[in-house]
Chain A
Amino acid sequence: MLITCPYCGPRDVSEYTYQGDGNRARPDAGSTDNQAWNSYVYDRLNIAGEHHEIWQHSGGCRAHLAVSRNTLTHKVSAVAFARDAGHRKSDRHRKSGGAA
């Protein structure tokens, strides 16, 4: 699998570290909404198809990347810096009920 780092170019997946589901939305730091925190920390989508993920180029520039990857074919369709992509504001977790 190849991921094209915006800094470093196409690199083998062995240079990267998976840093979790990119669909998570972190509640505001001071939030006391337990449901929201629980969903952020524990609920994960287990998508068969296009998935948003965070990868760190840990063996390279160490930037965190927002990667769109098809979990069935391993095709990477989009890569951006995670900081530019922002934290994806997604309510898909709650709609789908999340992972048990």
Chain B
Amino acid sequence: MSPRRIDTGGRRVDRDRGIRFTFDGKPYSGHPGDTLASALLANGVTLFGRSFKYHRPRGVLTAGVDEPNALVTVLKGNIREPNIPATQLEIYDGLTVVSQNRFPSLSFDIGAANQLGGKLLGAGFYYKTFMGPVVGPLKGTRFWMFCEYFIRRAAGLGRAGYDKDSARYERTNAFCDVLVVGSGPAGLMAAKAAAQSGKRVILAELEPRFGGSANWSSETIDGMPAADWAQATIAELRERKNVRLLPRTTVWGYYDDNMLAALERVSDHKRDAAKGEPRHRYWSIRPGAVVLATGAFERPLVFPGNDRPGVMLAGAAERYAAEFGVLPGRKIAVFANNDGAYGTALALKKSGAEIVAIVDVRRQVSEAAHAAALSTGGEFLAGHAVVATEGGTKLSGVKVQIFDAATGALSGDPRSIDADCLIVSGGWSPVIHLASQAGVSPQWDDDRQAFLPPKPTQNWIGAGAFNGSFSTAAALSEGDAAGRQAAGETDGPAEELPNVDAPALQSNPAPVFEIRTSGKAFVDYQHDVTAEDVRLAHREGFVSVEHLKRYTTLGMATDQGKTSNVPGLAIMAEALGKPIPDVGTTRFRAPFAPVSIGSLAAERYGDLKPERLTPMHDWHIEHGATMYSAGLWYRPMIYGHSGETIEQAYVREAKAVREKAGIVDVSTLGKIAVQGPDAAEFLDRVYTNMFSTLAVGKARYGLMLREDGFVMDDGTTWRLGENDFLMTTTTANAGKVMQHLEYFLDVVWPDLKVHLTSVTDQWAGAAIGGPKAREILAACVTGTAVDNEAMPFMGIVHGEIAGVAVMICRLSFSGEMAFEVYCGAGHGTHVWKALLEAGKPFGLVPYGLEALGTLRIEKGHVTGAEIDGRTTGRDLHLDWMLSKKKPFIGSAMMDREGMTAEDRLQLVGIVSLDNRPLNGGGHIVEQANPEDPANSLGHITAACYSPALGKFIGLALVKGGKSRHGKRAFTSDPLRNRFGPVEIVSHHFFDPEGKRMHG
């Protein structure tokens, strides 16, 4: 039997079975149902970790989600999960846990020397200390950068691992009529009442066991122990088909329109998750109404040494005894400002502990409390306060002094009392976090010395301790009422409520938060913020509670100040000389408790985006294509032969196009069917050039501007019929253009009779170009002639290839005689293969994006690299496309002063003069000095080796570009260590007259 495990209590643990686990390498045993905290306490362990800044020894303060101190790291293989509260960690066989922020070991920690430098490490330590000298090698922030390494090692909590999290996470959505958060007496009654009305109910409880405070209360409900009543009620709810019970589920966020987020810890408590079971499940819940029965957190009192292991909240001590059968101490002292702790003292005495003293800041206490104090047999010290704790890493005693609650003054000589545990109660704070997230500021209540929930701005109803109604009887009746109201049953008579037998102890506290005397008194345990830090912040001028929080980091640790917010505020209010409600409180924000990032991402990790594959994708792969991702699409970059470099491959492919013929997959181009009686008028308004004049059976290159006059996209649009157009867009902008067109049609010009359909995925496209392209088509196309007469430049014909209907348009991106062949997507590979087969005798080769880019750079055609959202039509020398005969989107704004200025960045060609490659993104400068590449004239947008010219060339956007043709400049690319001379030329490198494509 372990030293602190007792015979009574322990409903949650299975004493017949044992569990073995290790803490800092040392083996321990516990029982199923134990948390790490209860199991270690049962083994007599009180030291759990070292504190954030001062490396002070820390133990367990609470028994639940509010734990600030006992944070540990769980190891699963190479996966480290840091900062897990020991109070929330359910043990399982083989669990491996290590403590945090200590070196070389928990009991002997070098960093504890930081305590000696306590004055230096106060609030604002970083800001004040690391400003650095004004001169010298460590001036300014360099000093901080020098010190940071050491500080980061010394301060902080757990360390994250480097290995990829191998656990699986899930997301799910749920809808219900009533969501009940919390399953204490109030939540259980609410769930029961709502369920009886037949509504769909979800009951979420963050603990593994439903019942909340009933599980450790010594009260009776309906004549049975409260815990038995809770289990009977849960059993009843479990039978109902309209109730879903979610244990280990923390509702952590309350969002707009009554949407709540919850985290279910599905398999954290198991050594191995069952097959198909995730580690965590993220619930997005949309209930009709919410019942908030989240209870209250007990507050500690702030006094010197209040962080020593062995100091624990009273409610937590009672919980360890009742739920786990573990006594946190044998000789227990009590320190309180309210009656609640007296009941705890009685319960602990019944469990076998000795109550050595009850210290109460109040001189007068209620009769019931007085009677309870006497029956504990401990010394009763009303009007006293604990002023210090004794011991090292373990409490050995407390010092008490006479205390005046009205003035906070101490008098008389301090006296020592032997104790191995001090239980503390500083009143209760309702857990109003979700209500605060959902709405407005909470209300301060003087009687309870606590913030009560604000008026609902969303559809929730509070019940029980959440409302500040701390008695079980009130919890039951409010829960019942809330459940019925949430279910919409307002008329029916209330059911008879269960009887509660409870001591007449009042939990309203005296307004005492701090015992002010020398020594470090902690407000925020997890971030090591003392009462003196709060006052220091005030003295330095931080008067707003928001500033106070950020300067001292009070309440900003992983526990988000669950135990520290109200005491911190009270101390600030005192320093300001204002009442607490005038100081205000910070707004609670999601999440209520830490949430695993994995659960938020769930299955959407790795490459989150879907892949878009063209109909010919498999053919490309089979034929050695190296694929390249372009947005969501995968496109062939090169079809490399063995032993070829990328450069060799694209040069070979581009050369083949210029000399014979090449074929490229263009299925990725955006395609939008623009149809209807007003289609031509619509296109006239959308494009800068005219489309109503386009003949049926012809295509035209079009340019689109945004409203602000900058270029948005370009592409060809084909007139297939009087009222039937096929618009193509660039691959990258397909979605954006669609949305742009839809917006204008739906919002601005709803009178136009036009219908838009995205047909990108319906068509497969292949562009075949080169001197032999027409001959290849002639060899395989049936049902139409493909000569110059049947198919002039920009002409469209319909025919068949290998039995499949195709639509062919003679247009060219490569600058060669070229054709785009479209067919139904399902026939894409069939037609593609037939074209290649027909092209064999002519030397046709497939080419990829690299060669395509090379061909277009040689021709000076623009793509997304030049249409970058900052260029105008004139910048790209597309003035000829800007119609003067009609208004179009962007026509009014494109002529503004700055957009027609001479010194704008304009499209030019550049040629490398040192015969070395150019880089996209490299700057163009005038000076020849690589050390001072000042005054950028512009940048390179695209670059390649041009087989047609035998040179390294590129396109660039350069200030006053046209006027610089024939001039020398330099490219400066310090990141890639490239500097060299270039010549600025026209962007039409190759066949400027376009003889080849018109030929």
0/1 string, A4-17, CB within 8 A of B gives 1: 00000000100001
Report if A63 contacts B (CB, 8 A).
yes
Within 8 Å CB of A26, what residues of B? 748
Closest residue of B by beta carbon distance from A10:
B257
On whether A83 and B893 interact (CB within 8 A), knowing A17-B739, A41-B707, A58-B739, the answer reads no
Interface pair A87/B743, CB less than 8 Å apart: no
- List A contacts of B457 (CB < 8 A): 73
Cβ < 8 Å to B, chain A residues 63-98: 63-64, 73-74, 82-83, 87
Contact mask for chain B residues 259-298; partner A; CB cutoff 8 A; 1 contact, 0 none: 1000000000000000000000000000000000000000
Which residues of B are found within 8 Å of A56, using beta-carbon distances?
Answer: 739, 742-743, 746
Q: A29-B685, A56-B739, A64-B743 are in contact. Are A87 and B748 (CB under 8 A)?
A: yes
Is A19's CB under 8 angstroms from B257's CB? Answer: no
Kindly state the separation between the CA atoms of A63 and B887 in the bound complex, as whole angstroms: 26
Given contacts A29-B685, A54-B747, A87-B748, contact A74 B257 (CB under 8 A): yes
Taking a contact as CB atoms under 8 Å apart, the answer to whether A37 and B743 are in contact is no
* Per-position binary interface string of chain B over residues 743-767, scored 1 when its CB falls under 8 Å from any chain A CB and 0 otherwise: 1001110100000000000000000
Instruction: State whether B892 touches A27 (Cβ < 8 A).
Output: yes
Instruction: Determine whether the beta carbon of B747 is less than 8 Å from that of A41.
Output: no
- Tell me whether A32 is interfacial, beta carbon within 8 Å: yes
- Chain A interface size, as a band, is 20 to 34
Alpha-carbon distance between A5 and B256 when the two chains are bound, in angstroms: 17
Say yes or no: B256 contacts A83, CB within 8 Å: no
Is the Cβ of A37 less than 8 Å from the Cβ of B893?
Answer: yes
Contact with A along B704-720 (1 / 0, CB 8 A): 00011000000000000
A17 to B747 alpha-carbon distance, docked (Å) = 14
A17–B742 Cα gap in the complex (Å)? 12
- When C-beta atoms are compared, the residue in chain B nearest to A17 turns out to be B739
Asked whether B746 lies within 8 Å of A64 as measured between CB atoms, the reply is yes
Which residues of A, 23-59, contact B by the 8 Å Cβ criterion?
26-27, 29-32, 34, 37-38, 40-42, 54, 56, 58
B892:A37 contact, CB within 8 angstroms: yes
> Residue of B at shortest CB range from A29?
B887
> B720: shortest Cβ distance to chain A, in Å?
23
Instruction: Tell me which residues across on chain B come within 8 A of A74, comparing CB atoms.
Output: 256-257
Q: Distance in Å from the Cβ of A81 to the closest Cβ of chain B? A: 8
Q: Give Cα distance in the complex from A40 to B743, angstroms.
A: 15
CA distance A82 to B685 in the complex (A): 20
The docked-state distance in angstroms from the alpha carbon of A62 to that of B758 is 12
Would you call B896 and A34 a contact (CB within 8 A)?
yes
Question: A2 at the A/B interface (Cβ < 8 Å)?
Answer: yes
Residues of B within 8 A of A19 (CB): 739, 743, 747
Cβ-closest chain B residue relative to A31: B892
- Enumerate chain A residues within 8 angstroms of B708, measured Cβ to Cβ: 41-42
Q: Which B residues lie within 8 Å of A82 (CB)?
A: 746-747, 750
Determine how close the nearest CB of chain A comes to the CB of B556; give it in whole angstroms. Answer: 26
Q: Does A1 contact B (CB under 8 A)?
A: yes
Nearest Cβ on chain A to B241's Cβ, whole angstroms: 26
Residue of B256, B739, B750 touching A1 (CB-CB under 8 A):
B256
Give B881-914 as 1s and 0s: 1 = Cβ < 8 Å from A's Cβ atoms.
Answer: 0000001000011001000000000000000000
Which A residues are in CB contact (< 8 Å) with B748?
A: 26, 87
Contacts of B893 in A (CB 8 A): 37-38, 41
Q: How long is the Cα–Cα vector from A71 to B293 in the complex, in angstroms?
A: 29
CB distance from B788 to the nearest CB of A (A): 39
Please measure, in the bound complex, the distance between the C-alpha atom of A27 and the C-alpha atom of B685, giving whole angstroms. Answer: 14
Q: How far is the CA of A93 from the CA of B750 in the complex (A)?
A: 24
Query: In the complex, A74→B739 CA distance in Å?
Result: 25
B-chain residues with CB within 8 Å of residue A73 when the two chains form the complex:
457
**Which of A30, A41, A54, A64 contacts B887 (CB under 8 A)?**
A30
Q: In angstroms, how far is the closest chain B Cβ from the Cβ of A52?
A: 12
Which residues of B have CB within 8 Å of A2? Answer: 256-257
- Residues of A near B685 (CB, < 8 A) are 29
From A1, A31, A32, A87, give the contact of B747 (CB < 8 A).
Answer: A87
**Which residue on B lies nearest to A66, using beta carbons?**
B747
Are B742 and A64 touching (Cβ within 8 A)?
yes
Bound together, the chains give a CA A87 to CA B744 distance in angstroms of 11
Pair B257/A64 contact, Cβ less than 8 Å:
no
Question: Which residues on the A side are within 8 Å of B743 (C-beta)?
Answer: 19, 54, 56, 64
Cβ contacts under 8 Å, A64 to chain B: 742-743, 746-747
Q: Which residues of A contact B255 (CB under 8 A)?
A: 1
**Complex-state Cα separation, A31 to B707, whole angstroms:** 13
Shortest Cβ distance from residue A49 to the other chain B in the assembled complex, whole angstroms: 15
A83 with B739: CB separation less than 8 A = no
Chain A residue with Cβ nearest B735 = A58
* A-contact 0/1 string along B17-57, CB 8 Å cutoff: 00000000000000000000000000000000000000000
- List of A residues within 8 angstroms of B896 by Cβ: 34
8 A Cβ contacts from B892-938 to A: 892-893, 896
Q: Contacts of B742 on A, CB cut-off 8 Å?
A: 56, 62, 64
Q: Chain A residues near B739 (CB, 8 Å)? A: 17, 19, 56, 58
Residues of B within 8 A of A29 (CB): 685, 887
Distance from A77 Cβ to chain B, minimum over Cβ atoms (Å): 13
What 1/0 flags go to B237-258 for Cβ under 8 Å of A? Answer: 0000000000000000001110
Cα(A62)–Cα(B738), bound, Å: 11
- In the assembled complex, the CB of A15 is this many whole angstroms from the nearest CB of chain B, namely 13
> How many Å from the CB of B256 to the closest CB on chain A?
4
- Tell me the complex Cα distance, A41–B750, Å: 20
Interface residues of B in 440-498 (CB under 8 A from A): 457
Instruction: List chain A residues, Cβ under 8 A from B746.
Output: 56, 63-64, 82-83
Across the two chains, which residue of chain A brings its CB closest to B708? A41
The contact string, 1 if C-beta is below 8 Å from chain A, for chain B 49-75, is: 000000000000000000000000000
Q: How far is the CA of A87 from the CA of B746 in the complex (A)?
A: 10
Please, which residues of chain B bring their CB within 8 A of the CB of A41? 707-708, 893
Measured CB to CB, the nearest residue on chain A to B887 is A29
Give min CB distance, A50 to chain B, whole Å.
Answer: 16
CA A62 to CA B893, docked complex, whole Å = 28
Query: B892–A83 contact, CB under 8 A?
Result: no
Residue of B nearest to A54 (CB): B747
CB distance from A12 to the nearest CB of B (A): 8
Min distance, Cβ B554 to any Cβ of chain A, angstroms = 28
**B residues in contact with A87, CB < 8 Å:** 747-748
Are A83's CB and B257's CB within 8 A? no
Contacts of A62 in B (CB 8 A): 742
Q: How far is the CA of A64 from the CA of B423 in the complex (A)?
A: 62
**A54 to chain B: which residues have CB within 8 Å?**
743, 747
By CB atoms of chain A within 10 A, which of B256, B707, B892 has the most?
B892
CA distance A38 to B895 in the complex (A): 12
Distance of A87 Cα from B893 Cα, bound (Å): 20
By a CB distance below 8 angstroms, the chain A residues around B750 are: 82-83
Docked pose: A56 CA to B708 CA in angstroms:
21
Once the chains are docked, how many angstroms separate the CA of A32 from the CA of B739?
26
The interface residues of chain A lying within 8 Å CB-to-CB of B257 are 1-2, 74
In the bound complex, CA of A81 to CA of B707 (Å): 22
A2 to B457, CA, bound (A): 16
In the complex, what residue of chain A is closest to B257 when comparing beta carbons?
Answer: A2
- Alpha-carbon distance A82/B747, docked complex (angstroms): 6
Q: Which residues of A contact B259 (CB under 8 A)?
A: 12
Residues of A within 8 A of B747 (CB): 19, 54, 64, 82-83, 87
A12: B residues at CB distance < 8 A: 259
Which 4 residue pairs of A and B lie closest in terms of their CB atoms, listed nearest first? A83-B750, A29-B887, A2-B257, A64-B746
Name A's B-contacting residues (CB within 8 A): 1-2, 12, 17, 19, 26-27, 29-32, 34, 37-38, 40-42, 54, 56, 58, 62-64, 73-74, 82-83, 87
Could you show 23 A-B contacts with beta carbons less than 8 Å apart? A1-B256, A1-B257, A12-B259, A17-B739, A19-B743, A19-B747, A26-B748, A27-B892, A34-B892, A37-B892, A37-B893, A40-B707, A41-B893, A56-B742, A56-B746, A58-B739, A62-B742, A64-B742, A74-B256, A74-B257, A83-B746, A83-B747, A87-B747
4 extra A-B contacts, CB within 8 A, seeds A82-B750, A83-B747: A2-B256, A40-B707, A42-B708, A56-B743
